[in-house]
Amino acid sequence: MIQVPASEFMDKKQNTSRSSLLGIFINILLPVLILDYCSAGPANPLQRPAGESFWHLGPVWALVIALSLPLVYGIRSLVVTRKFDLMSGVGMAGVLLTGVISIFVIGPEGRIHSATPWLFAGKEALIPLILAAAVIVSRSTGSPLLNIFIYTPELFDVSRIEQKVAANDAEQAYQRLLASSSWVLAGTLVASSIGNFFLSLSFMSSVMRQPEAEQQVAYNVAIGSITWWGFLIIGVPILAALVFIMLRLIKRLGQLTGLTRDELLLR
């Protein structure tokens, strides 16, 4: 067995941690700050009144820049790693859908179309719902999504686990464990879809109660609020659910294989 030096392992952990923090900053925090603080200013992106604060970019430029950041970051990650990451792809799809919806719902003088709350809520609910369906459907394929989200070969010593499962004649119990884990993951994504729908509907409905002249700025602020509160109210509980699924996998796999936690996980 090839041993990975401890210093190299720690470097990889630190690099992963830094990458995750950078991803949160670029994909969530920075766009929220731009949408909240830079949306003030002229609705016409070609106008720049004298005396306007330099950070008041206007609702159009603020929206364009805020949406461009996660999109560019995702493309850069794809180019650098030369490997498609599902979650980065989902994030970029969400950004593109937001951009497309924005093009169609922002009318003359910044007025927002009355259907916007339902369109945006539907968009926010659609992606996790599609992922939930994909998790279930992929169970019958050779590449279940559970292996991308949690039971990954980068984290678990899958080949060793499957050898032990075969040796212990526990294949049926092993498949039942993976199936139940997939269902729990799908249920978590469905809960996320429902939470996203009502959170988005609430924030976007408040935009429609604003005077027409202020609706485009309010629309930008609502997108920022949905991003931030979605991360806190929905994202953190989902992360806790994923941790629960992983710990459950470790416990049950240990019972099926007789392997310790350190033997189940790759170092």
The confidence band for 194, taking pLDDT boundaries of 50, 70 and 90, is very high
Average pLDDT of every residue of the chain: 80
Tokens describing residue 105: 């719902």
Residue 1 has, within 13 A of its CA and on its CB side, a CA count of 8
How many C-beta neighbours within 10 Å does residue 75 have?
12
Predicted pLDDT of residue 106: 83
The confidence band for 69, taking pLDDT boundaries of 50, 70 and 90, is confident
Predicted pLDDT of residue 43: 62
Taking a C-beta distance cutoff of 8 angstroms, is the pair 254, 260 a contact?
A: yes
Residue 91 has, within 13 A of its CA and on its CB side, a CA count of 23
Residues 165 and 168: their CA atoms lie apart, in Å, by: 5
pTM to 2 decimal places: 0.74
Question: 155 vs 59, which has greater pLDDT?
Answer: 155
Question: 163 vs 57, which has greater pLDDT?
Answer: 163
Residues 193 and 202: their CA atoms lie apart, in Å, by: 14
Closest of 232, 122, 249 to residue 184, by C-alpha:
249
pLDDT at 10 over 60: no
Question: 159 vs 38, which has greater pLDDT?
Answer: 159
Tokens describing residue 63: 């929206």
